[in-house]
C-alpha cells in the first residue's frame, strides 16, 4: 500500500496538497494517543503494512523541551484526513467523506486504503484535531478571557472548576457543526475493537482540559478528576446529539447539572472520609489513654 503514497499524481503534490498541509500544520498540536509502542517505528514502512497512527501515552513534560510528535499519521494520511473533515458535515463520518477528501487532496480514490481503520480514523482525527484546536485557543490566551467575560469576572478570578467547565463547553460547541452525524460516530466508537482507542482519546481530552485549566492534583484526585471530566463529557456528547436548541443551551444546562452532581458526590465522599478518620483517631486516642501500646 505504501507504494501508492509514492505514486501520487505528479501535479497534485506541490499545488493542490499545500493548502491541506498548511492546515495540517495549523493542527500541529494534534494528539492521538493510542497504544504505547515497544519499538520505535522504522522510517520506511513495510510494503504491505500501512502505517497506523501510534503515539505514546503522556510522559514527562517540560517547557524547555518541545512536545514529542503527538501522532504518527504519515503525510499523505494527514492530508487526506484534513481534506475529508470538510465533507463531514455533509456526508457524515463515512467512506464517502474520505473518498471526497482524498480527491480534494489530489489522491486517487483508492488511496483511502492508506487508512487502515477507515471511518474510525476519520473520527479519531476529528477528535484529536479538535483537541489540538482547543489547546491552541487556550494558549493564544483569548479563551479564558472570553469565558470570564461571560461570567462578568476578571480572568484571574476564574477558579479551576469554572475553567474546566468553560473548556468542556467550548469543546462541545466545536462539535456543533457535526452534531447531526455525531450519533453515527458515537456508534462507531462504541464498537468493541474501537473502544480502547476511543477511551484513550477521551482520557487525553479530559487530561488536556484539566491541565489547561491549571489543575495540579498529584494524588488519587488526579484519577478521580479525569474520570469525572471524561464521564461528564461523554454523557454531554450523547445529550448534544438530541439537543434541538441552536445554541446548545440544553446541553449547557445539562453540563451545569452534572458538575453540580459531581460536587455533591465529592462533598459526600469528603464528609465520609472525615467522619471515618475522626472515628479512627478517637478510637486510637482512647486506646492510648487506657495505656495500650498502640
Partner 1 sequence: MRNCALKLCRQPMRAPSSVFLDFLAPSTVKYSQCRHASTTAGTAGEPKPRYVLSKEQREFMDSALRVNQAGELAATLIYTAQTPQIVRSYPHLRPLMKHMYDQEAGHLKTFNGLVAKHQVRPTAMYPAWEVAATFLGWSTAALGREAAMACTEAVETEIGSHYNDQVREILSWEADAERRGEELDEELKDMLATFRRIRDEELEHLDHAVANDSKEAKPYDPLVDVIRFGCRTAIKISEKI
Q: Which residues bind to partner 1, rule: CB under 8 A?
A: 6-10, 13-14, 17, 21, 24-25, 28, 40, 56, 58-62, 64-69, 74-75, 78, 211, 216-220, 222-223, 288, 293-294
Residue whose CB is less far from partner 1, 152 or 293: 293
Minimum distance from residue 238 beta carbon to partner 1 (Å): 28
Q: Which three cell numbers stand for residue 62?
A: 517540560
Q: Contact 69/107 with Cβ under 8 angstroms?
A: no
DSSP string, 231-251: HHHHHHHHHHHT---TT-HHH
d(CA 94, CA 3): 25
The half-sphere exposure of 140 on its side-chain side, counting CA atoms within 13 A, is 11
CB of 294 to partner 1, least distance (A): 7
Q: Helices 95-104 & 75-85, crossing angle to 10 degrees?
A: 110
Residue linked to cell 446529539: 241
Are 119 and 188 spatial neighbours (Cβ–Cβ below 8 Å)? yes
Nearer to partner 1, 35 or 190 (CB): 35
For partner 1, which is the closer residue by CB, 26 or 238?
26
The residue (of 142 and 279) whose beta carbon lies closer to partner 1 is 279
Residues 85, 175 contacting (CB under 8 angstroms) = no
Please, what is the minimum distance in Å from the beta carbon of residue 244 to partner 1?
Answer: 39
Write down the least CB distance from residue 85 to partner 1, Å: 17
Residue 168 to residue 261: CA distance in whole angstroms: 16
Least distance to partner 1 from the beta carbon of 292, Å?
10
Which CB, 30 or 168, lies closer to partner 1?
30
**Shortest Å, Cβ 5 to partner 1:** 9
Our CB check for partner 1 shows the closer of 28 and 190 to be 28
Amino acid at each position: 500500500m505504501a507504494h501508492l503514497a509514492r505514486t501520487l499524481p505528479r501535479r497534485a503534490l506541490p499545488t493542490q496538497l499545500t493548502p491541506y498541509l498548511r492546515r495540517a500544520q495549523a493542527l500541529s498540536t494534534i494528539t492521538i494517543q493510542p497504544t504505547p509502542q515497544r519499538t520505535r517505528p522504522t522510517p520506511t514502512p513495510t510494503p504491505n503494512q500501512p502505517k497506523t497512527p501510534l503515539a505514546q501515552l503522556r510522559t514527562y513534560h517540560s517547557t524547555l523541551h518541545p512536545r514529542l510528535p503527538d501522532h504518527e499519521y504519515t503525510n499523505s494520511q494527514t492530508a487526506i484526513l484534513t481534506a475529508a473533515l470538510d465533507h463531514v458535515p455533509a456526508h457524515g463520518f463515512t467512506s464517502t467523506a474520505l473518498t471526497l477528501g482524498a480527491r480534494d487532496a489530489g489522491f486517487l480514490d483508492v488511496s483511502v486504503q492508506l487508512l487502515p481503520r477507515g471511518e474510525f480514523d476519520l473520527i479519531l482525527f476529528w477528535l484529536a484535531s479538535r483537541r489540538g484546536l482547543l489547546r491552541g485557543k487556550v494558549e493564544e490566551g483569548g479563551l479564558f478571557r472570553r469565558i470570564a467575560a461571560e461570567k462578568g469576572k476578571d480572568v484571574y478570578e476564574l477558579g479551576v472548576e469554572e475553567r474546566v467547565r468553560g473548556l468542556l463547553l467550548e469543546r462541545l460547541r466545536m462539535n456543533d457543526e457535526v452534531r447531526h452525524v455525531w450519533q453515527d460516530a458515537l456508534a462507531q466508537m462504541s464498537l468493541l475493537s474501537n473502544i480502547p482507542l476511543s477511551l484513550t482519546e477521551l482520557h487525553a481530552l479530559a487530561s488536556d482540559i484539566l491541565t489547561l485549566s491549571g489543575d495540579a492534583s498529584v494524588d488519587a484526585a488526579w484519577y478521580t478528576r479525569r474520570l469525572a471530566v471524561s464521564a461528564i463529557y461523554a454523557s454531554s456528547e450523547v445529550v448534544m446529539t438530541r439537543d434541538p436548541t441552536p445554541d446548545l443551551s440544553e446541553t449547557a444546562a445539562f453540563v451545569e447539572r452534572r458538575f453540580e452532581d459531581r460536587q455533591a458526590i465529592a462533598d459526600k465522599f469528603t464528609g465520609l472520609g472525615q467522619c471515618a478518620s475522626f472515628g479512627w483517631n478517637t478510637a486510637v486516642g482512647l486506646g492510648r489513654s487506657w495505656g495500650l501500646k498502640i
